[in-house]
Amino acid sequence: MARYFDVHPVDPQPRVVGQVVAMLREDALIAYPTDSSYALGCRMEYHAGVERIRAIRRLDDKHHFTLVCADFAQLGQLVKLDNAAFRAIKASTPGPYTFILPATSEVPRRLAHPKKKTVGVRIPDSRVVQALLRELDAPLLSSSLILPGASEPLTDGWTIKEELDHVLDAVVDAGDVGSEPSTVVDWSEGYPEVVRVGSGDPSRFE
């Protein structure tokens, strides 16, 4: 049964944040709110976390997982950026965008795309996410919480708990955060290609 945490969306309670992060450090899989939709998340080092997310979402091994970062400095340690990508991504973060880029050696091989050696990275504009990442002091391995057969993510924390109580360890509820996942921009070939239009304005990358 998943633990349920009610957190303030603008001023997250430090005690609650600390409890969630303590669970993450013990290899919990959580559902948590971002600036675009709810997502699944766990520690990057939690080996079974990848398979648990794949099982919930029924994903194949070609799915790009996302490393959710606290800031641009952390993001820059995980992916390789040329000057154009650096400027454009820095100008659009934090925000509702996920960028697919070549992974550095800091990213475990099991998290990168098996052939392309790429990974998604993201800096959400969310007080809750920032509080969790500051306390954890590490990126979160993440994936949008879109269930098999659905076209949109789940939007309500209590509904998520009811639907996924048996497969999650915790649900962090910060109220309704929207129903569109992030806009995904593939920059792995040296230029931007919008591969999923979501809550971030895609026009700046088209």
Structure tokens at 29: 């899989």
| Chain-centroid distance, C-alpha 81 | 19
Per-residue pLDDT of the chain (206 residues; tens, 9 = 90+): 999 999 999 999 999 999 999 999 999 999 999 999 999 999 999 999 999 999 999 998 888 899 999 999 999 999 999 999 999 999 999 999 999 999 999 999 889 888 899 999 999 999 999 999 999 999 999 999 999 988 888 888 999 999 999 999 999 999 888 778 899 999 999 999 999 999 999 999 98
**Assign residue 172 a region: left if phi > 0, alpha if psi is -120 to 50, beta otherwise?**
beta
* Global pTM value: 0.94
Contacts of 109 (CB under 8 A, 6+ apart): none
pLDDT for the residue numbered 15: 98
Return the CATH architecture of domain 3-205: Alpha-Beta Complex (3.90)
Domain limits of the chain?
Answer: 3-205
